[in-house]
């Protein structure tokens, strides 16, 4: 009896805290910074935005008639409708990945872009949906965030015709207030070979999101990270369900993959190969942005491999592809 009463009290308390927290909007001022536009910084930003953090794939219109759904050429950064079609999120949401070319960010300050990428607030300070993985970008080295901003400033302006974000439920609007928090970026720069570099690269590459079972709001379930088996709905012509693979070192996961196998798997799936792999109706397709990741350096891919090998092996088999129901 007492235990049940205690449980109810705790649940009520938790609910109260959640309601209170969701009614106060997070707010902090954007930094006043002006990022350097030197060519080395723009190049670093290009690499991270296209091949590691895949900003340019998420913020694009994807062409699912090719393997991995590469961005339609010329739509990189222009934004696209991504999230509800990928994950089993509640119905009634339209959350486009907005345009991040100078056509949209032209009147944002560098500090406002910094705050959106790493903290989850838009230009006016409103909370962004965590589908933009700001919780993964909070601890990024400052120099890398600035490099990405310099790169975004350097790409061509591409106008779009995307709809506005639409969240059907008021409660969801309130809940969004719970997630953003001021970034805690690392000063300066991280060196490959350090633990911090590895942790940052893992967060930035976002492998965990698709390769972990998810809660209803599409957050990875703690303790089950990288065990795969997440169903991901693939748009037509594939129109089936792709299941992410187990990336733990168990034989049902990456067990017998060597470093060379792993790096080779990525390096083989270039833009050219992807565009020579059209998808037939109902045919296997993946939502994993293989084309984008194929541009990652062998050094960074090796660091991801080493990080995955250190995880606890978990035995778990899942299908790879379920074709659409007849
Ligand atoms: C998994 C897909 C995904 C990835 C990866 C991603 N974003 Fe986003 N991003 C989104 C979505 C979706 C939104 C809109 C969220 C909302 O409206 O609540 C967004 C919002 C933004 C915004 C705010 C735009 C606005 O008009 O309010 C900026 C700026 C941004 N992203 C930049 C980036 C950069 C830079 C990267 C890479 C470091 C990145 N994003 C990676 C999906 C993504
Ligand atoms: C948008 C979702 C998504 C993201 C992000 C993603 N994956 Fe995947 N991944 C999948 C799916 C779905 C499959 C199964 C279909 C396939 O083989 O492409 C897969 C398959 C794989 C495979 C098995 C390939 C094979 O030939 O057996 C490896 C290895 C892999 N992913 C590693 C990674 C790593 C490392 C990252 C981060 C750099 C990553 N994935 C990011 C969805 C994703």
In a domain, 10, yes or no: no
User: In sequence order, which ranges of 73-217 are alpha helices (DSSP H)?
Assistant: 83-86, 102-105, 110-119, 134-137, 142-154, 170-176, 195-205, 207-210
**What percent of the chain is predicted at pLDDT more than 70?**
90
- Kindly report which listed range (83-87, 103-107, 198-202, 227-231) carries the lowest average pLDDT score: 83-87
Q: From the CA of 131, give the closest atom in ligand 1.
A: 12
Q: From the CA of 207, give the closest atom in ligand 2.
A: 37
CA of 98 to the centre of ligand 1 (A): 7
Answer for the pair 95, 164: CB distance below 8 angstroms, yes or no: no
Q: How confident is the model at residue 302 (pLDDT cuts 50, 70, 90)?
A: very high
In a domain, 15, yes or no: no
* Most trustworthy range by pLDDT among 73-87, 185-199, 254-268: 254-268
Q: pLDDT at residue 173 above 90?
A: no
SS3 17: helix
Q: 242: Cβ below 6 Å to ligand 2?
A: yes
Q: How confident is the model at residue 171 (pLDDT cuts 50, 70, 90)?
A: confident
* 10-43 pLDDT, tens digit each: 555 555 555 555 567 788 899 999 999 999 999 9
In a domain, 23, yes or no: no
pLDDT, mean of residues 262-277? 97
pLDDT value for 186: 87
SS3 71: strand
Answer for the pair 200, 245: CB distance below 8 angstroms, yes or no: no
SS3 242: strand
**What percent of the chain is predicted at pLDDT more than 90?**
72
Please report the beta strands in 5-107, taking only residues with DSSP state E, as ranges in sequence order.
80-81, 93-94, 96-97
Q: pLDDT at residue 288 above 50?
A: yes
In a domain, 5, yes or no: no
* 75-98 pLDDT, tens digit each: 999 999 765 555 555 677 788 999
Share the mean pLDDT of the chain. Answer: 90
Q: How confident is the model at residue 178 (pLDDT cuts 50, 70, 90)?
A: confident
- Kindly report which listed range (7-16, 18-27, 128-137, 312-321) carries the lowest average pLDDT score: 7-16
CA of 176 to the centre of ligand 2 (A): 28
In a domain, 149, yes or no: yes
pLDDT value for 12: 55
Answer for the pair 210, 244: CB distance below 8 angstroms, yes or no: yes
Name which residue sits closest to atom 43 of ligand 2, judged by CA.
Answer: 288
**Going by C-beta distance under 8 Å and a sequence separation of 6 or more, which residues neighbour residue 310?**
none
- From the CA of 94, which ligand is nearest? 1
Q: pLDDT at residue 208 above 60?
A: yes
Q: Based on the structure, what is the number of domains in the chain?
A: 1
pLDDT value for 271: 96
Name the residue range of residue 74's domain: 33-322
Q: pLDDT at residue 244 above 50?
A: yes
Sign of the dihedral through C-alpha 271, 277, 279, 284: negative
Looking at the chain, the number of H-run helices and the number of E-run strands are 15, 7
Could you give the dihedral angle defined by the CA atoms of residues 50, 55, 56 and 57, in that order, rounded to the nearest 10 degrees?
A: 100
In a domain, 199, yes or no: yes
Rounded to 5 degrees, φ, ψ at 81 are -90, 110
pLDDT value for 306: 98
Of 131, 127, 117, the closest CA to residue 84 belongs to 131
Please report the beta strands in the chain, taking only residues with DSSP state E, as ranges in sequence order.
80-81, 93-94, 96-97, 166-167, 231-233, 241-243, 321-322
pLDDT, mean of residues 164-192? 84
Q: How confident is the model at residue 201 (pLDDT cuts 50, 70, 90)?
A: very high
- Tell me the C-alpha distance between 40 and 250, whole Å: 40
- Kindly report which listed range (4-13, 66-75, 248-257) carries the lowest average pLDDT score: 4-13
pLDDT value for 19: 55
- From the CA of 82, which ligand is nearest? 1
Bridge partners, residue 62, by sequence: 71
- 81 C-beta neighbours (distance < 10 Å), count: 16
Of 146, 124, 322, 154, the closest CA to residue 238 belongs to 322
In a domain, 14, yes or no: no
pLDDT value for 7: 60
In a domain, 63, yes or no: yes
- Tell me the C-alpha distance between 34 and 45, whole Å: 15
SS3 300: helix
- Tell me the C-alpha distance between 285 and 198, whole Å: 29
Q: From the CA of 305, give the closest atom in ligand 2.
A: 35
Q: pLDDT at residue 50 above 60?
A: yes
């Amino acid at each position: 009896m007492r235990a049940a009463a205690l449980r109810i009290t705790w649940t009520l308390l938790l609910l109260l805290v959640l309601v209170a927290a969701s009614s106060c909007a997070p707010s902090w001022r954007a930094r006043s910074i002006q990022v350097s536009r030197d060519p080395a910084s723009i190049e670093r930003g290009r690499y991270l935005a296209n091949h590691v953090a895949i900003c340019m794939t998420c913020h694009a219109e994807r062409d699912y008639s090719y393997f991995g759904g590469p961005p339609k050429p010329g739509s990189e950064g222009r934004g696209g409708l991504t999230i509800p079609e990928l994950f089993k999120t509640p119905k009634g949401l339209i959350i486009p990945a907005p345009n991040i070319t100078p056509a949209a960010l032209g009147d944002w300050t560098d500090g406002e872009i910094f705050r959106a990428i790493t903290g989850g607030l838009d230009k006016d300070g409103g909370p962004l949906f965590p589908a933009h993985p700001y919780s993964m970008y909070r601890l990024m080295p400052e120099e890398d965030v600035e490099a990405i901003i310099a790169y975004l400033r350097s790409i061509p302006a591409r106008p779009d015709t995307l709809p506005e974000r639409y969240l059907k439920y008021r409660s969801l609007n309130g809940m969004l207030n719970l997630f953003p928090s001021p970034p805690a970026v690392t000063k300066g720069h991280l060196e490959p070979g350090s633990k911090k570099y590895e942790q940052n690269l893992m967060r930035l590459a976002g492998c965990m999101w698709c390769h972990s079972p998810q809660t209803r709001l599409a957050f990875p379930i703690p303790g089950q990270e990288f065990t795969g088996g997440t169903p991901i709905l693939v748009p037509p012509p594939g129109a089936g369900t792709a299941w992410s693979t187990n990336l733990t070192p168990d034989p049902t996961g990456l067990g017998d993959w060597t470093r060379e196998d792993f790096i080779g798997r990525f390096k083989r799936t270039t833009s050219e190969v992807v565009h020579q792999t059209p998808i037939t109706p109902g045919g296997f397709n993946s939502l994993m942005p293989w084309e984008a990741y194929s541009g990652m350096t062998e050094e960074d891919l090796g660091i991801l491999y080493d990080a995955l090998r250190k995880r606890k092996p978990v035995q778990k088999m899942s299908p790879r592809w379920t074709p659409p129901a007849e």
